[in-house]
Amino acid sequence: MAKYSLNVNGVQREVDVDPTTPVLWVLRDHLDLVGTKYGCGIAQCGACTVHLNDTAVRSCQLPVSAVGNQALTTIEGLSEHGDHPVQQAWIEKDVPQCGYCQAGQIMSASALLKSNPNPSDEEIDAVMHGNICRCGTYTRIKAAIKTAANS
């Protein structure tokens, strides 16, 4: 076990966990931030996507010991009032069906738009390829990303 001080959603949080513990489980089990979802544990589904600084990463593959002083942002911290343009676009397009993968989709999409404010269809596909939606809301997700890009 080891103590870590993590910058999560702009707040320093202390945890005492095994250094190999993935950020996913630190968030879910130790910090009560369960918006970040477990889907596969091997970085194949994207449900656990968070931002490390401004980059989308799969938190199931990111050991807590590797975070250091870098800023972690989860779905709970993407915006203060749930009004990030991507979140708003998701509501406008009424994207979710079951909703389980959507936090990861939103975190991937918001990181994409930060680095590329007007992505082409191909650029959206290339980034979003890593996020599985089992309900098949892909066409709505793409529409919502374009709505957010235009807002």
Partner 1 sequence: MAIAKIAYGRRAFIKNVAYGGGGMMIGFSWLASCELSPEQVKKMPKEWFTINGYLKIGENGLVTIQSPNPEIGQNVKTSMPMIVAEELDTDWDHVIVEQAPLNTDLFKRQLAGGSQSIRQGWQSLRMAGATARQMLILAAAQTWEVPASEITTAAGMIYHEASGKKTDYGAMASIAATIPVPEEVELKEVKDFKIIGTSRKNVDGSKIVTGKPLFGIDYKKEAMLTAMVVHPPAFGLKLKSMDDSPIKNMPGIRAVFPIQTHVEGYNIGAFDMNAFNDLAVIVGDSTWEVMQAKKALQVTWEDTTDQVLNMDMFGRKMDVRFPAGKENTSTHQQIMETMGAKKAKTVRKDGNPDAAFRNASKIIERSYSCPFLAHNTMEPMNFFADVTEDQATLVGPIQTPEIMERSVSNRLGIPVEKIDIQMTRMGGGFGRRLYGHFLTEAAVISQQMKAPVKLIYSREDDMTQGTYRPAYHAYYRAALDADNNLIGFHVRAGGIPESPLAANRFPAGAIDNYWAEEWTVDSNITVGAFRAPRSNFIAGAEQAFLDEVAEAAGKDPIEFRLSLLDKAKQQPVGDNNDYDAARYAGVLELVKEKAHTNNDPNVFRGIAAYFCHNSYVANVLDMVMEKGKPVVQKVYCAIDCGIVVNPDAATNLAEGGVVDGIGHAMYSAITFNNGVPEQNNFDKYRLIRHDEAPKEIEVHFVKNEIDPTGLGEPPFPPIMGALANALYRATGRRHYNQPFITDKPLMG
Closest approach of Cβ 57 to partner 1, in Å? 16
Closest approach of Cβ 127 to partner 1, in Å? 9
Neighbours of 126 (CB within 10 A): 12
d(CA 72, CA 25): 14
Cβ pair 51, 73 in contact under 8 A: yes
For residue 5, the Cα-to-chain-centroid distance in whole angstroms is 20
Question: 35 vs 70, which CB is nearer to partner 1?
Answer: 35
Closest approach of Cβ 102 to partner 1, in Å? 5
Residue where the block lists tokens 């130790």: 30
Question: 40 vs 114, which CB is nearer to partner 1?
Answer: 40
R_g over Cα of the chain: 15
Closest approach of Cβ 84 to partner 1, in Å? 9
Per-residue b or e along 3-24, where b marks 16 or more CB atoms closer than 10 Å to that residue's CB? ebebbbbeeebebebeeebbbb
Question: 37 vs 72, which CB is nearer to partner 1?
Answer: 37
d(CA 129, CA 96): 17
Q: Which helix (H) or strand (E) holds 106?
A: helix 102-115
Closest approach of Cβ 81 to partner 1, in Å? 9
Give residues in contact with partner 1 (CB under 8 A).
Answer: 1, 17-18, 20-22, 25, 28-30, 32-42, 44-45, 47, 74-76, 78, 82, 87, 90-91, 94-103, 106, 121, 124-126, 128-129, 131-142
